């Protein structure tokens, strides 16, 4: 059995206040709607993509409301 590890960022919509830092720090993963709230890329990115991982970390750390988390998804493959 193999395990595949992927990541994605998720937003807590209650905490988010539309500062827009995430879209600046991780434009590959986050775009903003017309009110400045984030639209996150739905599909997870693979662990091997270090650049995306770095961007995601910057966005998570740079959020002034701590509204983002980096989610690690471990899927079992038979």
18 binds other proteins (CB under 8 A): yes
CA-CA distance, 62 to 4, in Å (whole number)?
27
Q: Which of residues 49-68 bind other proteins (CB under 8 A)?
A: 62, 64-66
71 binds other proteins (CB under 8 A): no
**CA dihedral sign of residues 60, 6, 73, 18:** positive
Nearest distance from C-beta of residue 58 to other proteins, angstroms: 8
32 binds other proteins (CB under 8 A): yes
For other proteins, the closer of residues 3 and 64 by Cβ is 64
CA-CA distance, 32 to 12, in Å (whole number)?
15
CA-CA distance, 4 to 63, in Å (whole number)?
28
Residues in contact with other proteins by the rule CB under 8 A = 15, 18-21, 23-25, 27, 31-37, 62, 64-66
């Amino acid at each position: 059995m193999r395990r595949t590890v992927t990541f994605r960022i998720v937003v807590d919509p209650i905490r988010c206040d539309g500062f827009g830092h995430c879209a600046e720090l991780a434009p590959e993963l986050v775009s903003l709607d017309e009110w400045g709230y984030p639209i996150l890329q739905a599909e997870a990115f693979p662990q091997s993509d270090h650049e995306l991982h770095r961007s995601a970390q910057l966005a998570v750390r740079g959020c002034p409301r701590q509204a983002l988390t980096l989610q690690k998804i471990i899927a079992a493959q038979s």
